[in-house]
Amino acid sequence: MEKVLNLGRWIFPLSFSMYVGLHFGKPEVGASFVPDFLPFPYFWNYLTALCIIAFIISALIRKYDKLAYSLMALYVILMALLVHLPMALGNLPVDMMGMDVARTQKLEMINVFRNIMVTGALLGFAKYVAEDNRIIR
């Protein structure tokens, strides 16, 4: 059973590769989530993808992994509060106004809840799984 439980150390960080694929494969989707007050949405989309790749690598090779899990938790909770929550409350970008607003708001609220859960998991990994304490003790 211990070997099965140890798979979590690999599965959890690798699951973020789906977001990397989305950021590179459909950059217009990632760019659409960039708040209007930030310029250059495609830049932020690609930068985010590179940061997620750095997180995955750090977690897998266990170098600066506590810092990586902590920074990823910060990113995910900020996405929940600055992007998904405002959209769930009806502050949708102009290019999304043609969509089913009620459905979009419900999906964004689900994203808020999902991001809060993932933040908790990332913080748990930072506390109990990460091994490199060089930056964060």
**pLDDT tens-digit series, residues 35-68:** 888 899 999 999 999 999 999 999 999 999 999 9
For the entire predicted model, the pTM comes to 0.90
C-alpha 12/C-alpha 97 separation (Å) is: 34
C-alpha 39/C-alpha 26 separation (Å) is: 19
- What would the mean pLDDT of 89-113 be, rounded to a whole number? 83
CB 118 within 8 A of CB 76: yes
